[in-house]
Amino acid sequence: MNSYRDKFKILSALAFVYIILFEFVLPVNKFLPKPTILLESFMHVWQDYSLLAGMLITTGTIYFAIGFSLFLLWIFRGSLIKFFLSFSQSLEVLQFFKSIPIFLIILMTAFWFDGLELAKIIFTILITFINLSRVLAKELIRTKPEYVSVGLSLNPDKIYSEVYWKASLPNLLELAIRFQRILWLIVLTYEFVAMSFGMGTIMRLALQYRDFGAIIVIGIIQALLIWFGTVIIKFVKKKIAFWES
């Protein structure tokens, strides 16, 4: 509780310093806009840049990809876990994806599909699914042998879907929390490059118009959305993987 209070105090202090410096002390500059300009930008980005629609598309893509990937993993957990445990090389193959430059994949996907909206959604789901699978494969190795020994006499499918899956779930959701920040960057970059609809494209437009106030406002909104997303996933984690909290 105290840490929240401390964070609030720090943010309030920074906001106060910013208002004093950039509103009253410093002349107009290109580093940070005046707080009053920021306030005006906050009003006009919603209309001029259709921010609400862009926000819904980008946020929807990101959190749908996370939710849908987790759902796919859950649906196919038995077969996937069996596969990962049977082929020890599968983790190495999945780890290989880590070393492929993500920017290259973004450019290639944008190039192949001409910024098609559906391509963006499938691309985001694929990236998320591969990363979550990688963590699942990694977690399987770490599963306590005593958990597995309990079910030696049971049907292996039950062990895969009940023991391995549940034992991996807390870290899988933990990765979802961390990965959503990276996913924001990936999706924004895709939209920025491919000019498909979303917050990334809006930021590109704002940059083209040299609308500095809008860029900062969109950035603040993104920060709030990421924070809200983190809170939601943490809440879900607390409910689903309650034994870890």
Partner 1 sequence: MKFENISKTFAYKNGLKVKLLDDISLDVKEGEITSLLASAGSGKSTLLKILCGLELVDSGQRIDAQTCLIPSQPSSFPWMNVTENILFANERLDEQTQKKLVHLVGLEGYENHYPNNKSLGFRFRIAIARALAVNPKLILLDEPFAAMDQKTKLEMLQLIVDLNKENKTTILLATSNLSEALLVSQTILFMKKGSTGNLPSEKTEYSSSNILDRMNSTSYSEYLTNSEKIAESFATHQSFTISL
Binding site for partner 1 (CB under 8 A): 144-147, 149-154, 162-163, 166, 169, 241-244
Closest-CA residue to 132 (of 188, 60, 190, 75): 75
- Single-letter amino acid, residue 22: F
Closest-CA residue to 203 (of 192, 194, 190, 193): 192
Sign of the C-alpha dihedral, residues 96, 156, 68, 241?
A: negative
Radius of gyration of the chain (CA): 22
Task: Quote the least distance from Cβ 235 to partner 1, whole Å.
Answer: 18
CA–CA separation, 139 vs 15, rounded Å? Answer: 42
Between residues 48 and 162, which has the closer beta carbon with respect to partner 1?
A: 162
Closest-CA residue to 136 (of 181, 95, 105): 95
- Single-letter amino acid, residue 94: L
Task: Quote the least distance from Cβ 159 to partner 1, whole Å.
Answer: 10
Between residues 91 and 241, which has the closer beta carbon with respect to partner 1?
A: 241
Between residues 176 and 202, which has the closer beta carbon with respect to partner 1?
A: 176
Task: Quote the least distance from Cβ 239 to partner 1, whole Å.
Answer: 12
Task: Quote the least distance from Cβ 152 to partner 1, whole Å.
Answer: 6
Task: Quote the least distance from Cβ 21 to partner 1, whole Å.
Answer: 49
CA–CA separation, 91 vs 136, rounded Å? Answer: 9
Between residues 4 and 243, which has the closer beta carbon with respect to partner 1?
A: 243
Between residues 163 and 183, which has the closer beta carbon with respect to partner 1?
A: 163
Between residues 86 and 245, which has the closer beta carbon with respect to partner 1?
A: 245
Q: Which residues contact 74 (CB under 8 A, 6 or more apart)?
A: 165
Which two structure tokens, joined as six digits, stand for 54? 């862009």
How crowded is residue 153: how many other Cβ atoms within 10 Å of its Cβ? 5
Task: Quote the least distance from Cβ 134 to partner 1, whole Å.
Answer: 23
